[in-house]
Homo-oligomer: A and B are copies of this chain.
């Protein structure tokens, strides 16, 4: 018998679709039910076998569900949680795949804590550190989470059994599960994920607006391609992440601009030794990090 009976995926894109496919590949789920804000991706997910059924509404979806994954852009969490909350049954675990956690936790408290009897203990926040600049259900694969990290940021209200059961679901997908406090999560990912995305978007946007943009892109090569890969990420998803985590992100952006100003001083004074020290320090730290990746992790 599969570990999970009915699993609901709200938002059948890369994250939700891959979760469904991975659980199915592991034989860990009996039925995957999908729902979302628009019909076409759901039909596509059904045709691809990513989900087994499209739910009529939240009442239908939530009935008898073991696990519900909310896999929409984080800006959609408040209305979706509000729609789900009245139908959420005892024993169902709800989680999410959002890249920011403090805002998602606040939305969950508002939606699930506002019920006549609080259901917030049923919501275990999560963030699978896997993704790609590709989006949509056609990009979903059963192997997306293999050897990737999933960070859970449990609430004080969550029971140990619910956290363990959710961790087991992600482990069935091949992921490595760890835990952080939500605020720490948001600071860490502002630095190593949200800021780099913002920087890549900004560079391409800057160059795209130039009079000689065609010439510039005409000579851009492999280094530029990799540096800007994440600038092909989903604009709405990243809009929501940046708005939700803007306090931590602005802090990181300011630190980075201070670093750039220091670098500008080195350039303006033609301080080759200073530049070389900075570059060598960066290279050594990055190479140390690469060595520690066993196996390479994705995003």
Given known A263-B202, A267-B242, contact A215–B188 (CB-CB < 8 A): yes
Query: How many Å lie between the Cα of A264 and that of B219 in the bound state?
Result: 29
Chain B nearest CB from A63 CB (Å) reads: 34
Are the CB atoms of A235 and B193 closer together than 8 Å? no
Beyond A192-B224, A249-B267, 17 additional pairs, beta carbon < 8 A:
A130-B221, A131-B222, A192-B207, A193-B224, A195-B203, A199-B227, A204-B286, A205-B279, A205-B281, A205-B282, A206-B259, A225-B296, A225-B299, A243-B275, A254-B264, A257-B257, A260-B260
Are B299 and A222 neighbours in the complex by a CB distance under 8 Å?
A: yes
- What are the residues of chain B within 8 A of A27 when measuring CB–CB? none
Q: Are A299 and B200 in contact (CB under 8 A)?
A: no
Can you offer 13 A-B residue contacts whose CB atoms are under 8 A? A130-B221, A189-B219, A191-B210, A201-B278, A202-B278, A204-B286, A225-B293, A226-B227, A226-B229, A228-B286, A236-B276, A239-B279, A254-B264
**Residue ranges of A at the interface with B (Cβ–Cβ < 8 Å):** 75, 129-132, 148-149, 151, 188-189, 191-193, 195-208, 210, 212-213, 215-217, 219-233, 235-236, 238-240, 242-243, 246, 249-250, 253-257, 259-261, 263-264, 267-268, 270, 272, 275-276, 278-283, 285-290, 292-293, 296-299
Q: How far is the CA of A130 from the CA of B222 in the complex (A)?
A: 8
Q: Which residues of the partner chain B approach A191 to less than 8 Å between Cβ atoms?
A: 207, 210, 216
In Å, the complex CA distance between A281 and B235 comes to: 9
Q: Looking at chain A's contact residues, is the secondary structure mostly helix, strand, loop, or mixed?
A: helix
B281, A267: Cβ atoms closer than 8 Å: no
Shortest beta-carbon distance from A190 to chain B in Å: 10
> Among the listed B192, B225, B270, which residue makes an inter-chain contact with A220, where contact means beta carbons less than 8 Å apart?
B192
Which of A197, A215, A226 has the largest count of B CB atoms less than 10 A from its CB? Answer: A226
A276 → chain B, closest Cβ, in Å?
4
Contact A259 B202 (CB under 8 A): yes
On whether the beta carbons of B229 and A223 are closer than 8 Å, the reply is: yes
Which of A254, A263, A268: most chain B Cβ within 10 A? Answer: A263
Instruction: Report the separation of the CA atoms of residues A276 and B238 in the bound assembly, to the nearest whole angstrom.
Output: 8
Given contacts A223-B197, A229-B227, A236-B276, contact A192 B206 (CB under 8 A): no
Residues of B within 8 A of A235 (CB): 276, 279-280, 283
